[in-house]
Structure 1
Amino acid sequence: MSQGLVFNETLYPGVEVKYECDNILFQDRSEHQDLVLFTNPVFGKVLMLDGVTQVTTGDEFIYHEMMSHVPILAHGDAREVLIIGGGDCGMAEEALKHASIERLTQVEIDDAVVSFSKEHFGDFNAAVFEDDRFDLVIDDGARFVAETDRRFDVVMVDSTDPMGPGAVLFTEEFYRAVHRCLKPGGVLVTQNGVPFLQRDELLDSIRRFSAIYADASAYVAAIPTYFGGHMALGWATDNAELRKVSLETLEQRFEAAGLDTRYYTPEVHRAAFALPRFIRDIVEEGRKA
């Protein structure tokens, strides 16, 4: 037991988030990052990389459902899906609930993250490793999209914030490489932080999206772990109609997919693109740059 121990996240200047720790389950320094997994009385198992919260068993379903079901159901005929990062495999678990997906490729730079996630997060990712459609590639995600000759309907970037190994996944060069390996009408979604505290992260991504894709935008989700209000999820595609899929169509696709969700609904999907004014202003500024 680790009674009295706390872990502090200091990602946001001027703000500190403190997690009480009941027990440290795993702690190590891999080739790429410092990793710790511990239990918290509110969020359950908490994974931190380099001192930044990545996922908790308490609220992982919100982030993973919104990052996967929104682009897949908006697309309507996704067969080939690519995940960059996402070593906890929660996003893969949600995406593979869609029987229409023929292959899901996940490119993760750190095999240590996948190995311990398989061991410690089996309550939400066990099905992934038993699914023949799951193709795990241990490689640098930026290199993979720059070199692959494969093409994808949906690309989801489940990255850390733009620092350390994750910084390259926020560059224009990376977004251009993703565009190259998207099929016509394909869509890219990204994690873009909490705009109230990380305004520039979203602004910079929208600017870079706008230089490459016909439609650059974002949608939002409320995720308790990511302190500071709405989290922004970046959206980039050459098909502007994907953001405008009707509620009726989304309901039909959702029912046909037979999904069992805890946060995502077709109504939430539509509403997620109705941005609060201050977030919409960031998106509009990025588009004009």
Structure 2
Amino acid sequence: MIIKNKKGLWLVDDYDSTEDPIFHRIKKIIYKKKTKYQEVAIVETAVFGKALVIDGIPQSFEKDEFIYHEALVHPSMVLYKNPKKVLILGTGEGASLREVLKYRCVKEVVAVDIDKEAVEICKKFLKKFHQNSFYDERVNLVFCDALEFLKKTEEKFDVIIADLTDPYEKSQALRLYSERFFKAVKEKLSRKGVFVMQSQILSIVKHEQHLKNRKKIKKVFGKAYSYRTFVPSYSEPWSFIIASERNPLRLKKNEIKKRLKENKVKTKFYSAEIHFALFALPPALNFVK
């Protein structure tokens, strides 16, 4: 939420704990509007630059969003050798789309979002995030509910990426954190297809939502691989879950390097070395099974 006190404007991230909120000083509110589905704000923060805020909850920050989006996208893209068709559920600011489009092997990306107006706002104000990825000829933008899209489409996808908002009470994505949704995803994967989703905080003290997500995904897909990375603007280790027939740790380092090189993929965070570090959880998190 955005608050004002004697020291100015603040973006307060208290989604995970009202007892331990994170404060970001706001230099200015660039744009703010209530769409049909949610409240969207673009703010300029003092430390992390521009930020996308949905229903008062910060989604991504200009200075370090690449860490989150590269961690979300690249492990699954290299796990499926040369994916040609990719589905993104939760288009948002277009940064996940940006990362997927780095792969020359990709022929088509279907990007689904329920809120067209929110995407248009991001197009206008967050150009450094999407880097004109919305206008790539390989992209097909679809504005509808993610579950409804999965139920109606007859297409199959090599990689499906769920970059959903967190499951807070007002979230449009709340009902997507369900076995019903994961079953719909599984049905639309091609043979040996890979599914990945962002899965909230995974730390020694905060892990409940991740475990809920993992349990449901594992029940539907049979296998679930948890990984995480620290995102400075979140002040927490953020997690992701891959569902795949192939264990992402079975990839060889040279195999990852080759796939990135063949597609001429340039990154600022992800690498063959980082790939394995992402999945290295400490002994204190051995309960994540």
Same fold (TM over 0.5): yes
CA separation of 1:86/1:280 partners in 2, compared to 1, >3 Å: closer, same or farther? farther
Query: Any idea what the Cα deviations from partners look like across 1:120-157, whole Å, max 9, x if unmatched?
Result: 11123133133100110000001111221110010111
How far apart are 1:34 and its partner, in Å?
Answer: 1.2
Pick aligned residue for 1:199 from 203, 207, 218: 207
AA of the residue aligned to 1:209: I
How far apart are 1:86 and its partner, in Å?
Answer: 2.8
Matched with 2:269 is 263
Distance 1:172 1:226 in 2: 27
User: Does the aligned pair in 1 maintain the 2:198–2:240 contact within 8 Å?
Assistant: yes
User: Does the aligned pair in 1 maintain the 2:88–2:163 contact within 8 Å?
Assistant: yes
How far apart are 1:46 and its partner, in Å?
Answer: 1.1
CA separation of 1:51/1:198 partners in 2, compared to 1, >3 Å: closer, same or farther? farther
Pick aligned residue for 2:243 from 196, 213, 236: 236
Tell me whether 19-28 or 197-206 shows the greater mean CA deviation: 197-206
Task: State the secondary structure of the residue aligned to 2:118.
Answer: helix
Distance 1:102 1:57 in 2: 28
- Determine whether 1:182 maps to 2:186: no
User: Does the aligned pair in 2 maintain the 1:221–1:272 contact within 8 Å?
Assistant: yes
Task: State the secondary structure of the residue aligned to 2:233.
Answer: coil
Query: Any idea what the Cα deviations from partners look like across 1:23-47, whole Å, max 9, x if unmatched?
Result: 1100111111111111012100011
How far apart are 1:95 and its partner, in Å?
Answer: 0.5
Matched with 1:220 is 228
Query: Any idea what the Cα deviations from partners look like across 1:192-247, whole Å, max 9, x if unmatched?
Result: 1112254121111111112111321211121112222x21101112x134441111
Task: State the secondary structure of the residue aligned to 2:224.
Answer: strand
Matched with 2:281 is 275
Matched with 1:33 is 38
Task: State the secondary structure of the residue aligned to 1:215.
Answer: coil
| Alignment TM-score, normalising by the size of structure 2 | 0.93
CA separation of 1:19/1:263 partners in 2, compared to 1, >3 Å: closer, same or farther? same
User: Does the aligned pair in 1 maintain the 2:225–2:247 contact within 8 Å?
Assistant: no
Gaps of 5+ in 2: none
User: Does the aligned pair in 2 maintain the 1:96–1:128 contact within 8 Å?
Assistant: yes
Matched positions, count: 280
Matched with 1:149 is 154
User: Does the aligned pair in 2 maintain the 1:194–1:227 contact within 8 Å?
Assistant: no
Distance 2:216 2:134 in 1: 34
Query: Any idea what the Cα deviations from partners look like across 1:36-95, whole Å, max 9, x if unmatched?
Result: 111012100011111111011111111111111111011112111000003100000110
AA of the residue aligned to 2:44: T
Gaps of 5+ in 1: 285-289
| Alignment TM-score, normalising by the size of structure 1 | 0.93
- Determine whether 1:136 maps to 2:141: yes
More helix by percentage: 1
Output the aligned Cα RMSD: 1.5
Identity of aligned residues (%): 27
Task: State the secondary structure of the residue aligned to 1:212.
Answer: helix
Matched with 1:5 is 9
User: Does the aligned pair in 2 maintain the 1:25–1:37 contact within 8 Å?
Assistant: yes
> Moved runs in structure 1, 4+ residues, more than 3 A?
none
Query: Residues 83-162 of structure 1 correspond to what in structure 2 (within 5 A)?
Result: 83-162=88-167
AA of the residue aligned to 1:203: L
AA of the residue aligned to 1:262: K
User: Does the aligned pair in 1 maintain the 2:24–2:46 contact within 8 Å?
Assistant: no
